[in-house]
Every structure is written in structure tokens, then in C-alpha cells.
Amino acid sequence: MIVRQGLRALLAGEPDMEVVGEADNGRETLELVQELAPDVIIMDISMPDLNGIEATRQLLAESSGVKVIGLSMHSDSLFVLNMLRSGASGYLLKDCALEELVKAIRTVMHQQTYISPGVSDLLIQDLACRCTAESSSAYSVLSAREREVLQLLAEGKGTQQIAASLGLSSKTIEAHRKQICNKLGLSSVAELTKYAIRQGLASLDE
């Protein structure tokens, strides 16, 4: 909430920019985009219910014209790569200056990609060293639905809550949970939660 209020106040001073809406989680973001049709979305990666990476992927599958800039406290290349693979046009750190945020917005509006300098250095080093564990990434191992279920499990939701949230039966959610455990070689909710946090699907930031 504080971050959103700060961004709104900062951008209000830009004559060519207008903040048209705010969302508390990824699912609300998807709904507001359909309603408000913004040009650019500043997408917090660590959102409850549906994280920013998954929200970006779903959003851009339906609305290819909108530009998404990921916003996170994480400079880890895994977060950056997963956000860019989801279709984002930019990636900023939460402690960036107003000037950088404004520059990023204008950059993506000119059909270019913007990544914070500190992040881009780490990203280049990681790619050069081939350090990204692609084979074990949640985005290569799990399906989109399994990633959604995993995030909700990691956030402490029960089977019935997840079923209601996704519009599925409890039996289907249980089947997804077992499949996730089988694919990852994990057996407990605690292990799944740790994995989800490492992969950027869930966060301890809230």
C-alpha cells in the first residue's frame, strides 16, 4: 500500500502521465486492466493470490498491446528472466529513483525494453556463466495451473479455498497437489512453500 501511494504521488507530477487504477493482487489486476485499458502497468512481482509473473503471462496472452514493467525488491536473475519470459517490457527495483521509473515508462512506450542497470549487470553475468538452473525452474517443470495452485498452497490456503478461488473441485486441486509433489520430488507443504519462495511464485514480503 505504501509503495503504491508513493508511486501515485510521484507520477502525479508528470504532465504526460496519469494513474488510472491500483490493485491489491494479481487477479484484481487482470480485472482492472479489462475495465480501464491502461497503456502501462507497474506490476509488483510479489503479490498475493496470483503473483506478478503469472499475472503478466495471463494478461499479455489476452491484451498484447499493454506494456508491463515488473517491480521487485529482488535483483536475482531468476526473477528477472521469468518476468521477461512472461512478456514484460521492463524490470525495476523498488528502491529506484523517480527519474528511473519515469524513464522506464517512456522507454517501454517507445517499444523498447528497460532493465535497471544494477539488474542488467547481474543478468549478463548469469547468462554468460550459464548459471540459471533452467531444468529445475518452476516455469519449465510445472504447468501454469500447477504454478497457481503451488502459490496458493504456499500462501497457506487450504484445498477448499484454492478450489473456490480457481473455480475447480477439491478433488482436482488434490490431484494437482500430488502432481506438483511428484514433479518436484517434494512431499510436505513446508517444502513446497520454500520452493515457491525460491522460484518467485510466493513471497515473505507481505
Q: Quote the pLDDT of residue 3.
A: 67
Give mean pLDDT, residues 154-158: 92
Three-state SS for 51?
coil
Residue 2: per-residue pLDDT: 47
The domain locations on the chain are 2-129, 138-198
CA–CA gap between residue 182 and residue 199 (Å, rounded): 17
Query: Is the distance from CB of 19 to CB of 42 less than 8 angstroms?
Result: no
Residue-wise pLDDT tens digits, 66-77: 999 999 888 777
138-198 topology per CATH: Arc Repressor Mutant, subunit A (1.10.10)
Cell for 183? 514433479
128 vs 98 pLDDT, higher one: 98
pTM, 2 dp? 0.73
Which residue type is seen at 53?
I
Query: Which DSSP string do the residues of 139-180 spell out, in sequence order?
Result: HHHS-HHHHHHHHHHHTT--HHHHHHHHT--HHHHHHHHHHH
Q: Which residue has the cell 514484460?
A: 88
**Residue 12 reports pLDDT greater than 90:** no
Backbone region of residue 115 per phi and psi (left: phi > 0; alpha: psi in -120 to 50; beta: other values): beta
Q: What is the CATH number of domain 2-129?
A: 3.40.50.2300
pLDDT of residue 189: 87
Give the model confidence (pLDDT) of 28-41 as tens digits: 999 999 999 999 99
Strand blocks (E) in the chain: 40-44, 67-72, 90-93, 114-115
Q: State the average pLDDT over residues 68-91.
A: 88
pLDDT band at 134 (very low <50, low <70, confident <90, very high): low
Report the pLDDT value the prediction gives residue 135, as an integer from 0 to 100. Answer: 53
Cα–Cα distances (Å) from 68 to 13, 98, 145, 153, in that order, read: 21, 17, 22, 26
CA distance 39 to 114: 16
